[in-house]
Structure 1
Amino acid sequence: MITLTGYIHVPADRLEAVSAALPAHIALTRAEPGCLSFEVTPDHAQPGRFTVSERFIDRAAFDAHQARAGTSPWAEVTAGIPRHYTIEEIEG
């Protein structure tokens, strides 16, 4: 299993566009083969910060997600926004 945890901190001037694109990104990711869970939630203590938690069944499913997401409208709307993620592979 592959897990990704961390956050993305969206600048105030891009928050509206990112928030608008988020529901489609979540729905598309959750529909991907091998996606076990995918959560992106606002951090109410820090405006603009979204906590990210992902679990994929294996490296192939995670890599497929990264490839799809990397060429998606989500990638366009979040281009240049730094991500702060930790990726861990868990042997089962």
Structure 2
Amino acid sequence: CSIHKGENIEALIAVSGVTLIYLPPYSPDFHQLRIVGQRFKSILRSIGARNYPDLLKSLEDAFNSLSTSDFQSWFTHSCYCTSLD
């Protein structure tokens, strides 16, 4: 039993007049870090650094290559709000 779904928590929330909506079960298909990580690792593999100084530069280059639209598409894929407002 999860603390977040315990009867005591549900009762406290119900008393305050709030509607409780649970998140869906965890799915690696919608986990943002997995999605971003796949892209990041792909970029690093394509650069092919073989020593520590080159790896540091590659990490910086890989991070800088990610665009706002990349992050928006990942959030859309994960069913999160994508508005920049």
Task: Confirm or deny a common fold (TM above 0.5).
Answer: no
Q: Which has the higher contact order (CA 8 A, sep 6+)?
A: 1
Max radius of gyration: which structure? 2
Q: TM-score by structure 2 length?
A: 0.33
Q: TM-score by structure 1 length?
A: 0.31
Choose between structure 1 and 2: higher helix proportion.
2
